[in-house]
């Protein structure tokens, strides 16, 4: 396509902003239905306990109470399903105990749902919940994944060692042999800290049942409404799928946490038919901390072997992954398929072996959070490579260059085939942008002020655009991972696009319209983008894994191509020419080599007023849909460079420079793409310096349960960013040549920050988050 | 238990029932159905509920509706001109891509307007410090800081 004409490649201002800037956005909690009731969930105060009795009789008589449901009401329905089957090395399937909608005889984390109270007002529901008598028999909580196999307490009674699976990928023996022959081996052991996603809009759902039509409507703050509907209907509640409409209206951020099917919305859908009233539940922030799926929480040991020339010969990785109390929707895939397959990074390491022990603990479920496995993989690779360079006294950039993959396609030893890339280009440009040449002078200036300056690198790769369904299926996915799009051309030539992708901040209403406007040669104002409603959109797998443009956008392009192909036939009839002589350019169908032409809107009108129409060859109307299943992942990559100043007296770290140079392939809207990188950088820096979901190891109580205890990055914690999108290597297997940009910032930045701090204070490792106290302790220990 | 309060909201005088324990944010959202003001936390940390009370930025989750009796409240719905022309700060947020999901945006814009109206000079460090009470999870603040500086210049023009 003509990639640089028209709207594609332009920083078009976002069309969705008008409503967001004037208070007219419509988020789920903004919707109030006639006869609305309100839900409050009574949650477990214990990390691990048996429920010996529940007495709701007093609560049921409280003012305004409409109904109370407990685990007994859900005994006949299914558990919340996990969408990815992982088999252990011994061939056994992962342990998959039931994830009940409401706790069934046992609570397994602080915040586990015990009872649902529905009342006329939220205050009444909360007050009534306080009258429910629950008798608990406390059990020993399992908090730490590393000690979970030996602690002698089982989160699920039939999984006595708390192990979900023991999985591996790569060449175990070959890697061991390579490591034995290495001239130098560098080893690191560390924790990848637990994070709590904290989209600014807390989760919310509003469910109603129409007794006359016998159907349900669920408004829910969610990233993939069709998947939500499918899982809830087919696996849990047994509702016929066509009897349920799921609407995800404006959604205030997701970052993964709103991919999943949760018990809260499932419970209120079930209860809406029992009680015949619409039920709204809005999470408080305190509940969000307890009950949203968390992210990361790995304990990892990695060894990298190098030959005498600094070439990587092998890498061994072992990770213990904390999956929390239950398997959330995609939990099992995160520390395996989405993690270990990225351990080659940008390097031609010939031998890799990674084994993973995934554990149940009495903590909130852990699942995909911005990057989902790929930040953890990048942290492994980019920390060990930098550490090896420092140990060998080599320039970290040079050591990377020496090991970069240079020819494509490249099949890694961990299952992926990179289609394209130019790692040297993004590295070279990042070094310029960061003015690495001036680092020593800046370091001296810092030293003169008593401050320690350090520089750290990270050269990340990620796999986006998940995924070829056949590959995903072979790896255990229980879903297809295509995307659907529909192009509805109206008689006047105006166009409505229906996409299975969902925007919760990414700006699809703008970016997708840019693509369609260029393809059809019509103004963006003539195009509407509809998403997030199973009642409108034919199907969708939703938005996560930086897949919307690469997969969802491609589905739209393919549907537009069908529109143009049909339009050519109509135009050929109108122009009395052969179909094959018609070309479409600039919004007009033309007979090639002549001045005979007909505009797009005249063709669309003819399609719907088919008086003069080739009825013998075509059906009237101009409406097409397409399903697109990619042939490979896309592989965005880049180099990030962080420069910090550490105050050795306080341990305080200030990021002085944060530089990102990314290869996202072709770019539709640079402004939006850079905005995505900025947000990812903030979350990655947040992980490196500030954020940590902490449970008390004795009691399993969440210690970081509010914005006063969990350090969200704020404006004055962060620097301005130096972000550049490289000209890039277009993706070779989708028609837009795009790769995905939503997660890169969060993937690439944590190791760059920690590498910089280690360089500044001269230590091998600093744990994340590198708070002032942590850094100060590291300085003291190194003295 | 109900009580009646009269106040000015976005230029119009309104008289409504409130409960003595009803927070201003819930009065705005649930009673007046002005849903542009958002609730992002329960500890007065995030700033998504920021409105103006008598011209000063206030986190409306930290104030009772009854305390707003007789006062003038402006919410995000009341910031643009009557003909729909965006306030210069709203326009700056759009042109600088200072918003993504839009959830923190109303509070962020109301805080930014207060900053410009009541606190002198606005270099980057000052803007970042002044926005410390408004949390955004999407933008990394980079473009919000640019928007506030651009909006400040436009407001003075």
**Per-residue model confidence (pLDDT) at position A2:** 40
A440: distance to nearest CA of chain B, Å?
25
- Please compute the mean of the pLDDT values over residues A707-715 and round it to a whole number: 98
- Residue B71 scores a pLDDT above 60: yes
Cα separation of A10 and A652, whole Å?
A: 40
Contact A737, A4 (CB under 8 A): no
Counts for chain A of helices (H) and strands (E), in that order: 18, 28
Residues 44-103, chain B, touching A (beta carbon < 8 A): 45-46, 48, 75-77, 79-80, 86, 90, 93-95, 97, 99-103
Domains of chain A: 17-24+482-628 (3.30.365.10), 31-139+200-253+258-291 (3.90.1170.50), 381-459+633-782 (3.30.365.10)
Q: Does A616 touch chain B (CB under 8 A)?
A: no
- Reported residue count of chain A is 783
Cα separation of A586 and A589, whole Å?
A: 8
Alpha helix ranges (H) inside A524-639 = 554-575, 600-608
Cα separation of A676 and A417, whole Å?
A: 26
Among the listed residues A386, A361, A421, the one whose alpha carbon sits nearest the alpha carbon of residue A665? A421
**Per-residue model confidence (pLDDT) at position A3:** 40
Contact A518, A2 (CB under 8 A): yes
Domains of chain B: 3-78 (3.10.20.30), 88-156 (1.10.150.120)
Which of A10, A14, A20 best probes binding to B when mutated, by most B CB atoms within 10 angstroms? A20
**Per-residue model confidence (pLDDT) at position A4:** 41
pLDDT in tens, A718-727: 999 999 999 8
Q: Which residue of B has its CA nearest to A22?
A: B77
pLDDT in tens, A188-222: 999 999 999 999 999 999 999 999 999 999 999 99
**Per-residue model confidence (pLDDT) at position B1:** 60
**Per-residue model confidence (pLDDT) at position B73:** 98
- Please compute the mean of the pLDDT values over residues B25-48 and round it to a whole number: 98
> ipTM surpassing 0.90, yes or no?
yes
**Per-residue model confidence (pLDDT) at position B157:** 84
- Please compute the mean of the pLDDT values over residues A141-153 and round it to a whole number: 98
pLDDT in tens, A364-397: 999 999 999 999 999 999 999 999 999 999 999 9
Residues 19-58, chain A, touching B (beta carbon < 8 A): 19-27, 29-30, 32
Contact B80, B57 (CB under 8 A): no
Each residue of A402-422: b (16+ CB within 10 Å) or e? bbbbeeeebebbbbbebbbbb
Contact B137 A253 (CB under 8 A): yes
DSSP A120-189: SSHHHHHHHHTT-EEEEEE------TTTTTTSS--SSTT-TT-EEEEEEEE-HHHHHHHHHT-SEEEEEE
- Residue A162 scores a pLDDT above 90: yes
Residues 482-521, chain A, touching B (beta carbon < 8 A): 504-507
Among the listed residues A413, A298, A201, A202, the one whose alpha carbon sits nearest the alpha carbon of residue A750? A298
Cα separation of A421 and A409, whole Å?
A: 9
Contact A672 B97 (CB under 8 A): yes
Predicted structure pTM score: 0.97
């Amino acid at each position: 396509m003509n990639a640089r004409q028209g709207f594609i490649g332009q920083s078009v201002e976002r069309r969705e902003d008008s409503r967001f800037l004037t208070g007219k956005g419509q988020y789920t909690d903004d919707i109030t239905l006639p006869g609305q009731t309100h839900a409050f969930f009574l949650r477990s105060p214990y990390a691990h306990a048996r429920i010996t009795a529940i007495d709701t009789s007093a609560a049921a008589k409280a003012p305004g109470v409409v109904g109370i449901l407990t685990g007994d009401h859900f005994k006949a329905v299914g558990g919340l399903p996990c969408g990815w089957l992982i088999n252990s090395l011994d061939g056994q399937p992962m342990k998959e105990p039931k994830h009940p909608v409401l706790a069934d005889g046992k609570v397994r984390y602080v915040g586990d749902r015990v009872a649902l109270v529905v009342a006329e007002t939220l205050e009444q529901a909360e007050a009534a919940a306080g009258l429910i008598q629950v008798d608990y028999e406390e059990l020993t909580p399992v908090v730490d994944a590393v000690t979970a196999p030996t602690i002698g307490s089982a989160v699920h009674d039939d999984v006595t060692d708390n192990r979900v699976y023991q999985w591996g990928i790569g060449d175990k023996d070959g890697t061991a042999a390579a490591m034995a022959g290495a001239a130098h081996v560098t080893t690191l052991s560390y924790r990848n800290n637990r994070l709590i996603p904290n989209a600014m809009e807390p989760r919310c759902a509003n469910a109603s049942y129409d007794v006359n039509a016998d159907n349900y409507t669920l408004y829910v703050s969610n990233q993939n409404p069709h998947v939500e509907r499918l899982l809830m209907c087919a696996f849990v509640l047994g509702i016929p799928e066509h009897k349920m409409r799921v609407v995800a209206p404006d959604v205030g951020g997701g970052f993964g946490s709103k991919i999943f099917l949760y018990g809260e919305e499932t419970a209120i859908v079930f209860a809406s038919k029992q009680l015949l009233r619409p039920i709204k539940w809005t999470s408080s922030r305190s509940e969000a901390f307890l009950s949203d799926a968390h992210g990361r929480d790995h304990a990892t040991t990695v060894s990298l072997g190098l030959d005498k020339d600094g070439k990587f010969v092998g890498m061994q990785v072992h990770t213990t992954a904390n999956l929390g109390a239950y398997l959330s929707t995609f939990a099992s895939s995160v520390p395996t398929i989405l993690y270990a397959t990225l351990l080659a990074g940008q390097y031609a390491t010939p031998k890799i072996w990674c084994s993973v022990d995934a554990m149940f603990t009495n903590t909130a479920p852990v699942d995909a959070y911005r990057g989902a496995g790929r930040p953890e993989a990048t942290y492994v690779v980019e920390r060990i490579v930098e550490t090896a360079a420092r140990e060998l006294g080599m320039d970290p950039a040079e050591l990377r260059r020496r090991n970069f993959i240079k020819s494509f396609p490249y099949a890694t030893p961990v299952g992926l085939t990179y289609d394209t890339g130019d790692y040297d280009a993004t590295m070279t440009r990042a070094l310029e942008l960061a003015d690495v040449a001036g680092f020593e002078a800046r370091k001296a200036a810092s030293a003169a002020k008593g401050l320690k300056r350090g520089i750290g690198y990270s050269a990340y790769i990620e796999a986006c655009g998940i995924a070829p369904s056949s590959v995903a299926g072979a790896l255990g996915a229980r879903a297809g991972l295509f995307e659907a799009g529909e192009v509805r051309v109206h008689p006047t030539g105006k166009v409505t696009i229906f996409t299975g992708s969902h925007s919760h901040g990414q700006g699809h209403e703008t970016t997708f319209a840019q693509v369609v406007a260029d393809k059809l040669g019509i103004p963006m104002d003539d195009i509407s983008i509809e998403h997030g409603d199973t009642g409108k959109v034919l199907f969708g797998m939703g938005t996560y894994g930086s897949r919307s443009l690469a997969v969802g956008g491609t589905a739209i392009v393919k549907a537009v191509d069908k529109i143009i192909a049909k339009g050519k036939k109509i135009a050929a009839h109108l122009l009395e020419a052969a179909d094959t002589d018609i070309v479409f350019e600039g919004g007009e169908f033309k007979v090639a080599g002549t001045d005979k032409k007909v505009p797009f809107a005249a063709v669309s009108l003819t399609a719907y007023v088919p008086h003069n129409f080739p009825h013998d060859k075509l059906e009237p109307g101009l409406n097409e849909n397409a399903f697109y299943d990619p042939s490979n992942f896309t592989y965005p990559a880049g180099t990030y460079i962080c420069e910090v100043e550490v105050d050795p007296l306080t341990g305080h770290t200030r990021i002085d420079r944060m530089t990102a140079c990314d290869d996202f392939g072709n770019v539709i809207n640079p402004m939006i793409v850079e905005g995505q990188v900025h947000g990812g950088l903030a979350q990655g820096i947040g992980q490196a310096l500030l954020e940590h979901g902490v449970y008390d190891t004795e009691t399993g109580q969440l210690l970081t349960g509010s914005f006063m205890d969990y350090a969200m990055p704020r404006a004055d914690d962060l620097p301005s960013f130096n972000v550049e999108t490289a000209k890039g290597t277009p993706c070779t297997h989708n028609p837009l040549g795009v790769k995905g940009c939503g997660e890169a910032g969060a993937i690439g930045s944590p190791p760059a920050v920690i590498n910089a701090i280690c360089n500044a204070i001269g230590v091998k490792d600093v744990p994340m988050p590198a708070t002032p106290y942590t850094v100060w302790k590291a300085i003291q220990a190194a003295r | 238990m109900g009580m009646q309060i009269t106040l000015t909201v976005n230029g119009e005088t309104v008289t409504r029932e409130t409960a003595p324990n009803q927070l201003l944010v819930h009065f705005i959202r649930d009673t007046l159905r002005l849903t542009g003001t958002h609730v992002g936390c329960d500890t007065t940390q995030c700033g998504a509920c920021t409105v103006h009370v008598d011209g000063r930025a206030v986190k409306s989750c930290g104030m009772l509706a009854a305390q707003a009796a007789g006062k003038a409240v402006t919410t995000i719905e009341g910031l643009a001109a009557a003909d729909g022309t965006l306030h210069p700060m709203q326009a700056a947020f759009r042109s600088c891509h200072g918003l993504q999901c839009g959830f923190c945006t109303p509070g962020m814009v109301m805080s930014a307007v207060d900053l410009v109206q009541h606190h002198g000079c606005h270099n980057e460090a000052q803007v970042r410090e002044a926005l410390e009470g408004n949390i955004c999870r999407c933008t990394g603040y980079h473009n919000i800081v640019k928007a506030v500086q651009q909006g400040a210049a436009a407001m003075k023009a």
